């Protein structure tokens, strides 16, 4: 996906400080950023706003809230055509490492990539550009 086609990005994270940090970071790169503080609000904003990309925290209300929201987004016609990433710090806190780099992993996890916290903007932009 050409980065110039991505105008609006949805970020869903229950950590308000990180949500604001990432919003400011992406806005400084020229994106319009929509935020949500939980998966229910994130799902509603996804449906209402039809963002060009989505970044969803893994652990919110439940330990799998991010997986569930990504699954719901990717099941929609719009969601199939946009990059959707899971944001997590699980690797740092649990040592459990997972990825979504192969087609099988993407099919199982229902996202287009894993981003570790804190977000490295260059890594995020490269993943969006490499979508499709």
pLDDT of residue 30: 92
Residues contacting residue 82 through CB under 8 Å, at least 6 positions apart: 1, 51, 52, 53, 54, 131
- Whether the pLDDT of residue 124 is over 70: the answer is yes
Distance between CA atoms of 47 and 89, rounded to whole angstroms? 26
- Confidence class for position 77, pLDDT limits 50, 70, 90: very high
Cα 123 from Cα 16, distance rounded (Å): 22
The average confidence (pLDDT) of the chain is 87
DSSP letter for each residue of 16-27:
HHHHHHHHHHHH
DSSP code of residue 119: P
Residue 115: the pLDDT is 87
Choice between 76 and 110, residue whose per-residue pLDDT is larger: 76
pLDDT grade, residue 132 (50/70/90)?
A: low
Q: Is residue 45's pLDDT more than 90?
A: yes
| pLDDT at site 100 | 66
Task: Evaluate whether 81 touches 55 at the Cβ level (below 8 Å).
Answer: no
- pLDDT at 53 (0 to 100): 95
pLDDT above 70: residue 51: yes
pLDDT at 97 over 90: no
């Amino acid at each position: 996906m050409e980065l110039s086609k991505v105008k609006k990005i949805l970020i869903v994270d229950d950590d308000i400080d990180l949500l604001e940090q990432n919003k400011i970071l992406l806005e400084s790169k020229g994106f319009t950023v929509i935020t949500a503080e939980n998966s229910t609000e994130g799902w509603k904003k996804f449906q209402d706003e039809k963002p060009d990309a989505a970044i969803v925290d893994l652990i919110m209300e439940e330990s799998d809230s991010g997986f569930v929201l990504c699954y719901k987004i990717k099941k929609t016609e719009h969601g199939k055509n946009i990059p959707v990433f899971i944001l997590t710090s699980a690797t740092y806190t649990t040592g459990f490492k997972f990825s979504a780099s192969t087609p099988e992993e993407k099919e199982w996890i229902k996202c287009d990539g894993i981003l570790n916290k804190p977000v490295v903007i260059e890594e995020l932009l490269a993943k969006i550009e490499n979508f499709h």
